[in-house]
Amino acid sequence: MSNKAAREKLIFALDMGKGLDEAMSWVRRLTGHVGVFKVGKEAFTRFGPKLVQEIQETGSRVFLDLKFHDIPNTVARAAEGAVEMGVAMFNVHTLGGKSMMEETAKAVREMARKRNLPVPLVLGVTVLTSLNDDDLRALGFSYSTAELVLRLARMAQDAGLSGVVASAQDVEAIRGACGKDFVIVTPGIRGSARVSGDDQKRTLTAEEAIRRGSDYLVVGRPIQTAADPVAAADELCQEIARGLDAR
């Protein structure tokens, strides 16, 4: 598998920096080494749509990771805003319910058609990778993590979403239930070195995640905290390429 194909599957989590210039310095440093930049709550709260615009002006794609979760009308209107920003993908919480997801998917298609813009991938967040079975029991869920993820993934697909955000440990089950065209974006990717202050509990390496069927991998701290972030990104792309070849 080519390095370019592998690189397109690597998403860098751009949630750091004390100012817009510092955030954009990471974009300039990693452009050509990662395929997508993820703008999450931390970065978007600080820098807003201007950060999205400046990333796009470099020719890079944006994953808007705000995890919309509200009543159907509110989420649908927020989704329209994401379409108008031109992001490549964004996400909603599947626990917002099927009606919320259906209205959002419909609003995205209609806004893209109205504005003559590309239709972004709309992803459903299943169970955060910081949660495990004990956490779900404490929250009152009777399902295991694996059971709840699969149930929510099927609901997202039935509602018309493009795919889900899910742990690599759940990828094979989701792929079996939802088919080869359902997009799976996987956070919690780690290398062999332990990341300081890590709060992720359900993790895998990049090669393992891709081999199991992930379409995109979200990586933050393993690149950000590396002695050579560009080299770390390139090594991850090599792992992705090996995972693709092993499928």
Instruction: Map residue 117 onto helix, strand or coil.
Output: coil
Helices 49-57 and 72-85, interaxial angle, to 10°? 30
- What pLDDT is attached to residue 190? 64
| 65 labelled catalytic | yes
The bridge status of strand 89-93 relative to strand 121-125 is: parallel
Q: Which of 41, 50, 65, 181 is catalytic?
A: 65
73 marked as part of a ligand binding site: yes
Q: From CA 146, how far away is CA 171, in angstroms rounded?
A: 10
184 marked as part of a ligand binding site: no
- What pLDDT is attached to residue 1? 59
Average pLDDT over residues 53-81: 98
Q: From CA 98, how far away is CA 152, in angstroms rounded?
A: 9
131: closest CA among 202, 194, 218? 202
The answer to whether domain 3-246 has CATH 3.30.43.10 is: no
CB of 189 closer than 8 Å to CB of 218: yes
User: How would residue 112 be classed by pLDDT, with cut points 50, 70 and 90?
Assistant: very high
Q: Residue 18 above 80 pLDDT? A: no
Q: Which of 9, 18, 67, 199 is catalytic?
A: 67
| 228 labelled catalytic | no
What is the pTM assigned to this prediction?
Answer: 0.91
220 marked as part of a ligand binding site: yes
Q: Which of 117-131, 178-192, 217-231 has the lowest mean pLDDT?
A: 178-192
- What pLDDT is attached to residue 109? 98
Average pLDDT over residues 64-92: 98
15 marked as part of a ligand binding site: yes
Residues of the chain above pLDDT 90, percent? 83
Q: Residue 142 above 70 pLDDT? A: yes
72 marked as part of a ligand binding site: yes
Q: Round the average pLDDT of the chain to a whole number and report it.
A: 92
183: closest CA among 126, 117, 243, 116? 126
| 67 labelled catalytic | yes
33 marked as part of a ligand binding site: no
